[in-house]
Structure 1
Amino acid sequence: MPDVHDSERGGRPVTGSLAHRIDYLFKAVQPKGREYSYEEVARGCEALTAGTFSKTYVWQLRTGQRDNPTKRHLEALSAFFGVPVAYFFDDQVVEDVNAQLALVLALRDADVRDIALRAVHLDGAGRRSLARIVTEISRLQRSGADGATAPESG
């Protein structure tokens, strides 16, 4: 979900509209390695609620064409995507859940997963050293992006 900053909240990212939240769930929750189709979400939500839920309605919610779903629809979407119902209206819950989903997204990358799995076998001192190394590399990359060059290793 794109971060929108609100100066009244001290520059902290705010969480966006219902459509942004649903769109983010489509992008982040992908157990099949791809986004769910509108049909899959609609069928899954129907099965969870024993009520009607069309793929067009799911599309309308995701694109902002509709923005006032019923409680039953929000409950079905939350159950389908595995998030609390409060995700759709509580900014703090959105921030907490999105942080967890960002970790899941990062772990889809084989290199990130490899580093994380190797770190599990390090002792506390080794993990702290690895964290410092990653922090330093990140700092060097940021300064390189700002026009500075990273020192070359010898």
Structure 2
Amino acid sequence: MVTFIQIINPRLELHNYPLEIRKTVVPKTKEEKKKFNILAIPMFVILIVYLLGTITMAYSMHATRYSILFLHSFIVIMTWNIFDLLIMDWLIFCTITPKYLIIPGTEDNDSYKDYRYHINGSLGKGLILAIISITICSGVSWLILKLFIW
């Protein structure tokens, strides 16, 4: 879905680009922010519903502890985090750098090859968001299972 958004307009994902690239272009317009939300919010909802659904289905036959659901969520979300870093960020964004990712006016910017930016994002903000997501998803899954299934 992120790639789909970037193909439509890479500026919609401007907030995820390295600072050096963001500094060389005008900030996102209100229209771009609105378009990003129209595309990103449904994507986020689909991912959350999918994760909650798969966890709930996987553990619907027998009661289990919250810690098991947390571990399951951790494995799923961290697998995505690692995939995002290695494939989406390092391989596609930094190494291949297809034209659909390049924001007009930044074609010669060396920040497209900034591997450190992406590792810092994955281990910094990405890890914090992952832990928050894991805690919420496993908690909601446990409540759904406890209240409606077990």
Bigger radius of gyration: 1
What TM-score do the two structures reach when normalised by structure 1?
A: 0.29
What TM-score do the two structures reach when normalised by structure 2?
A: 0.29
More helix by share: 2
